Structures are given as C-alpha cells and as structure tokens.
Amino acid sequence: MPKVHPTAILDGEVELADDVEIGPWCLLSGSIRLGPGCRLMARVTLQGPLVVGANNLFWPNSCIGTAPQSARFDPFHAGPGTVIGDGNSFREQVTIHRATHESDPTRIGDRNYFMVGSHAGHDVQVGNNCTLANGSLLGGHAILEDGVLTGGNSAVHQFCRVGTGAMISGCAAVSLDLMPHFTVSAINFAGSINMVGLRRRNFSLEQIAAVRWVYKTFCRDGLSVRVATDRLRSRAGDPVIDQYIEFVDRSSRGLVTRHGREASERDQSVGDLVH
C-alpha cells in the first residue's frame, strides 16, 4: 500500500502504485499516475495531466507539470500534460512545464538526472541518459537526444535540437541545432568533439575518426553548410555518418558550425534564450 504522509495533499484523480512514497507537505493535483518505486521526498508539487513511470525520485521543492510560462496560455487549461519515463532523478527546485500542444505532451525519457534548479520549458522532449547540471535551462519545444550533458547555467534556445552525446559547457548556450557528439564551449561555438562521451559510449577508433571528420568538415574547413552537407552525403552508408545526415536533414534552425572557445560580442547576444 502506498505510504502517504498525513501532511501531503492529493487533490484529483491520483493513482499510486502500491510501493509509492509521498513525503511531508507534497501537493498532487489533477490527473496523476505514479508508477512503482517512485518517491517524493518533501514539498514536491506535481500537477496533472501527468504520467510517471517507475523508480523516479523527486527531491524537495521540485515542481513538475505546472503551466507554461506563456502569457497567451490559459494556466488552468490541462492539455496533454507531461509524460515521464523510468529511473529519473529530479533534484531540488527542478521545474518542468506541461505542453501547450493539444496532442503531444512534454516528455522526459528514462534515466535522466536533473540537478538543482534546472528547468525544462513547455513541450520539451528529453531522451534517455541525459544530465542537466545546476541551473541548466531548456527553452520551450527544445529537443535533447540521448546522452546529452549540459553544464551549469547553460541554456538551449527554444525549438533547438541537441544531438546524441553532445555537450554544452557551463555558462554556454546554443540558439542553433548542435550536432551529435559536438561540444559547445561558448554561445554557438563548437570547441571540439565530446571525446570523453565517445569513449564512455564505447566508440571504436574508426567511429571516433568519423566523428572527427564530420567536425572538421563542418567547423574547420571553412565550407558552407551546403558544401559540407554534400561531402557528408558522399560518405553515406557508414552508420556514424548516416546519423549526421539524418540530423542535418531534420534541422530547422541551422547548425552550430563556428569553432573556438571565445565568442565575439555580437555572438554573445542571442536574444531570449528560454521561455
């Protein structure tokens, strides 16, 4: 039977698996389903529509499923809400907002780690095994593919896509799409590839060489994106290269291709990074 602290408030259609633990002063409102092994430590706020998988841990003052920060959105409109997978950890003061779309929820995958004060805006899509360090910000509709790492106080502009295994350094940001396994070291500056991440993902020397070639082609050779993409397609059939071709074909905001560690004053101004 679920363990619910007497100070917790459950208001609405709340469905709890048998071993769920709800700590003191938690507030659950609306249509909510919590899977087995979930634990809310204290002062957690969950607002439905919200579906949560198994073995998720919510630390004090995390706030999940609340209304988008949009003046045009009715904060009392439920919409499709938020869907969370399995094995995630949401540390103190994490905020995740529900969707504005009428069909697709804000979605968090499996085994992601949201550190203190990180934020995912409305309609965000986060894959699996991502780590968001303290103060990381994901603007509305942003997409993080699997294995992404964002440093402290970093930001992803709304509608941007961050590719598998990519890394955004602390206090850096992207307002363009970041290709898989690239590392951003300043605003829209690709400083290198994520070598540590590639090794952790057990990439072979040949696969790492392919990633290096893509990085050089797009960021070091001084080519236009069109010409670099043509060169990329010339090597189609290699699984690593095919991943990049797919990413480029799906990009809608343009690609991070400038390289270096320091951005100019002009590059530092990218407008409102998050909503």
Single-letter amino acid, residue 264: S
For helices 239-250 and 205-215, the axis angle rounded to 10 degrees is: 30
Q: Is the pLDDT of residue 265 over 70?
A: no
Q: Is the pLDDT of residue 272 over 80?
A: no
Q: Is 272 tagged catalytic?
A: no
Q: Which of 81, 119, 121, 123 is catalytic?
A: 123
Q: Is the pLDDT of residue 93 over 70?
A: yes
Question: Does 134 or 103 have the greater pLDDT score?
Answer: 134
Q: Is 230 tagged catalytic?
A: no
- Mean pLDDT, residues 106-124 taken together: 98
Whole-number pLDDT of residue 101: 87
The pLDDT tens digits for 134-193 are 999 999 999 999 999 999 999 999 999 999 999 999 999 999 999 999 999 999 999 999
Look at residues 133, 49, 124, 126 and name the one whose alpha carbon lies nearest to residue 91.
133
Domains of the chain plus CATH, in order, are: 3-268 (2.160.10.10)
Bridge partners of 33, per DSSP, are 15, 51
Residues constituting the chain = 275
Q: Which of 81, 139, 140, 147 is catalytic?
A: 140
Query: Cα separation of 119 and 95, whole Å?
Result: 5
Q: Which of 122, 141, 157, 181 is catalytic?
A: 122
The pLDDT tens digits for 16-68 are 999 999 999 999 999 999 999 999 999 999 999 999 999 999 999 999 999 99
Q: Is the pLDDT of residue 75 over 50?
A: yes
The pLDDT tens digits for 210-263 are 999 999 999 999 999 999 999 999 999 999 999 999 999 999 999 999 985 544
Whole-number pLDDT of residue 260: 57
Q: Is 140 tagged catalytic?
A: yes
Region of 237 on the Ramachandran plot (φ > 0 left; ψ -120 to 50 alpha; else beta): left
Q: pTM, whole model, 2 decimals?
A: 0.93
Region of 97 on the Ramachandran plot (φ > 0 left; ψ -120 to 50 alpha; else beta): beta
